[in-house]
Each structure stands twice: as C-alpha cells, then as structure tokens.
C-alpha cells in the first residue's frame, strides 16, 4: 500500500483535487507521521530502547474552515496507515463512550477513574484519529486535560484530529474554561498544529450554485437534495441504494436511527425528527454529529401541528447555533410554514434563521460556530 502523500499527489495529478499548498503541507506532515508509526513497531528498536509505549510519535491537530479538505486527508491517512493498532472515531461519539466508561469505573472505585478509562481505551491502540474535535460540554471540558494526558503521555497513544478551530479557540467562552486550559497546553506540547485555511472552500465549490431550500415537495425537489448529498459526500449516485445508515447515540441509552449517514452528512424525514416526541438535547446531538443535515417533506403547519412546530423550532435552533448546513424539501417557503397557531409569532425567529442559513456567509461558517 502506497503512503498518503503518494496517494494525494495521484489525486492532484488526475485532476480530482486542486493544487493547494496548505493541503500538501498537511499531507506531507501526515505522511511523515505514517512512516514514524510504521517504523515504531511494538518490540522494535524504539520500543526496546524506551522500554514502553511512551516513545510515541508527535500527533497532528489539523484545523481550518469548512470544506478545506480535512476529512479527505483524514480518510487518506487512516486508509493508508499500515498498522493494525489504529482507530478512527467521531470526537462526539468518543466522548459519549468515555462518559459511559467513567460511569462503569466509578461503580467499582471512587478514585482515579479517568486514568483507568484511558488505559482501557488505549489497549491495542497506537493511533487514535478523531473527526471534528469541538468541545461544548462542561463535563467533557473538565476532564479532557487529565484524560488526554493519560492517553498521550502515559499510554503513548498518538492522536490525530481535525477541528474547525485552532486549539486556543476550543471551548471559547465556556463555563469554567480555566479547567480546560491545561488541555490546550497539552495539545500545543504533544501535537503539531497544522492549519488548512487556504482560499478555496472545496465543499462549497462542489455545491456550486445548488440551492438549499426546495419547494414544493416532489420529484424535482428530491432530486436537488439528492444531488447535494452526493456532492457533499463524493458518493457515486449510481450506487444510491447502498448509502449507509447510522445509529446516533442520544444519551441515557437512547439512539436515533439515521436513514442516510455518511461523512458528516445525514438525511432525515420531517416526520422522524419533529413528528415524534423529541427535545432540544436530541437535536443538539444531531447538530454536534453532522456538519450537514437534509430534511425532507417539511409540511405547511397549522394550529393542529403546534407540537411539530415547536420541535421544528428547537431543531433549527440546534442546527443554527452549531453552524450546521441545512438542505430541505418543503411544501412552501419558510415564511408560510407556520402562520397560525400557538407560537406562530415566535416562529418568526425560526423563519429569520432559515433565511440566514441559506446565505453565502452562513454556508461559509465552520461546523460548531455561527460567528
């Protein structure tokens, strides 16, 4: 298997990727990390010299705005990394896993659960790759310095992650942020920070002039959001029947079935999201997991749809506040979705947000932020 840099250069030569100095610099750094990981085999010379896994290669923290190629480079890195002891996971899903493991450990002992969880997570793993590191949860922020010190420094796990923000902006303005600052120091000491902030937004470039709100519901509107899905995920339209589904952890042992889930893009029906009893926490889980959401068959609502309208408002709030890109098929334009019924006046804020979410400025925002 050829390395990441060779694969990247083949894609550029074939015209599948545009030449981009930031991307190539990141590809070169990841390529070197691959070589270091593949050379530093357990029981090899480095392992014998240091006597344990602490002698791990320096990790990489790639950050940049939406559509800069972070996920593409992560795909290449994980696919071409020729070691068995590797794992790729979305950061939000990883922290949910950590929370569950901490609950288990606290039932057994009352002291030191973070260190024991790190040891469990590091078992048989030398490289841990995260998609989209974003920190919004106070409980997560409070333990991250201890958890990742144990993973990287004590257990010798090399971390590779993508993020829309530089390390210094993580959990910015968060509650009790002072507890989180040691994690930022850890990242800057144990990882190479690699920016991808070139002038081209490749995701927006792929979308071209494709609109995000499509009316009325029907074959034409459906074809438009299908096209958006294929452009965002680079999935072959001729293989549409085999787009993978997913299960999203909602907390408390609950999950949400995601009919189409690929590369940070999810497809839902309005009925599934707003016709069932859901709260703001469910919509926040969706907003944290996916950078783009497609909602189909949004109806015109009246007084009899008060509950659906309230849930839709909470959904849009969650997506908007996390910079999620929304593509939709609907019976009508946002201004006419809910004109009569309890909360119709307050629904005007939702209309305003729906209109803003169609703007070029909003579409250019990174996932996890609206400013």
Q: What CATH number corresponds to the domain at position 146?
A: 3.40.50.300
Note the pLDDT of residue 60: 97
Residues 52 and 169 occupy one common structural domain: yes
164 and 210 fall within a common domain: no
Task: Choose among 1, 167, 15, 3: nearest CA to 73.
Answer: 3
The reported pLDDT for the residue numbered 371 is: 47
What's the rounded Cα separation, in Å, for the pair 26 and 51? 31
> 220: how many CB neighbours lie within 10 A of its CB?
11
Q: Is residue 142, in this structure, part of any structural domain at all?
A: yes
Question: Do 206 and 186 share a structural domain?
Answer: no
Same domain, 121 and 266: no
Distance separating alpha carbons of residues 82 and 34, to the nearest angstrom: 8
pTM of the model: 0.63
Residue 156: give the domain boundaries.
4-195
> What pLDDT sits at residue 355?
94
Single out the residue in 137, 164, 195 at which a domain terminates. 195
Same domain, 177 and 74: yes
The pLDDT of residue 113? 87
User: Cα dist. 159→169, 177, 203, 235, 289 in Å?
Assistant: 19, 22, 25, 28, 20
Which residues are paired to 86 by β-bridges?
Answer: 127
For residue 370, tell me if it sits in a domain.
Answer: no
Say what the pLDDT of residue 66 is.
Answer: 65
Residue 206 sits in a domain whose CATH number is 3.40.50
The domain boundary residue, chosen from 150, 180, 195: 195
Does one domain contain both 149 and 270? no
How many structural domains compose the chain? Answer: 2
Residues of the chain scoring pLDDT < 70: 1, 40-55, 66-67, 107-111, 198-206, 208, 366, 368-371
CA dist 352 and 328 (Å) reads 16
At how many degrees (to 10) do helices 138-149 and 113-122 cross? 60
Same domain, 100 and 148: yes
Same domain flag for 117 and 256:
no
Statement to judge: residues 327 and 273 lie in one domain: yes
Q: Is the dihedral of CA 37, 38, 41, 44 positive or negative?
A: negative
Are 137 and 264 contained in the same domain?
Answer: no
| CA-CA-CA-CA torsion sign (103, 116, 246, 23) | positive
**Contacts of 93 by beta carbon, 8 Å cutoff, 6+ apart:** 249, 289
Distances in whole angstroms, Cα of residue 298 to Cα of each of 270, 277, 282, 289: 5, 17, 18, 22
Of 129, 161, 195, which marks where a domain is finished? 195
């Amino acid at each position: 298997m050829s390395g990441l840099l060779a694969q990247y250069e083949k894609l550029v030569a074939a015209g599948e990727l545009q030449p981009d100095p930031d991307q190539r610099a990141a590809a070169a750094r990841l390529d070197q990390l691959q070589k270091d990981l593949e050379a530093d085999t357990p029981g090899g010379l480095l392992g014998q010299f240091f006597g344990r896994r602490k002698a791990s290669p320096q990790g990489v923290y790639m950050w940049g705005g939406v559509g800069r190629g972070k996920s593409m480079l992560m795909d290449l890195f994980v696919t071409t990394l020729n070691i068995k002891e590797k794992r790729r996971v979305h950061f939000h899903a990883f922290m949910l896993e950590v929370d569950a493991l901490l609950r288990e450990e606290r039932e057994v002992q009352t002291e030191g659960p973070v260190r024991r969880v790190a040891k469990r997570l590091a078992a048989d793993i030398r490289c841990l790759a995260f998609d989209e590191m974003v920190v919004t949860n106070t409980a997560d922020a409070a333990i991250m310095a201890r958890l990742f010190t144990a993973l990287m420094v004590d257990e010798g796990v090399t971390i590779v992650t993508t993020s829309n923000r530089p390390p210094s902006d993580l959990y910015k303005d968060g509650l009790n942020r002072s507890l989180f600052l040691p994690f930022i120091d850890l990242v800057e000491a144990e990882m190479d920070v690699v920016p991808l902030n070139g002038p081209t937004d490749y995701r927006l470039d792929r979308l071209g002039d494709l609109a995000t709100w499509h009316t009325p519901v029907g074959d034409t509107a459906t074809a438009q959001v299908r096209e958006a899905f294929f452009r965002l995920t680079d999935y072959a339209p001729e293989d549409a029947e085999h787009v993978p589904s997913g299960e999203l952890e909602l907390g408390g042992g609950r999950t949400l079935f995601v009919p189409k889930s690929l590369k940070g893009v999810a497809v839902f029906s309005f009925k599934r999201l707003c016709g069932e009893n859901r709260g703001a926490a469910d919509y926040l889980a969706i907003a944290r997991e996916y950078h783009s959401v497609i909602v189909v068959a949004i109806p015109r609502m009246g007084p009899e749809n008060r509950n659906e309208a309230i849930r839709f408002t909470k959904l849009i709030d969650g997506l908007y506040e996390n910079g999620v890109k929304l593509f939709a098929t609907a019976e009508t334009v946002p201004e006419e979705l809910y004109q009569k019924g309890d909360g119709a006046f307050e629904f005007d804020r939702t209309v305003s947000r729906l209109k803003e979410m169609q703007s070029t400025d909003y579409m250019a925002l990174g996932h996890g932020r609206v400013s």
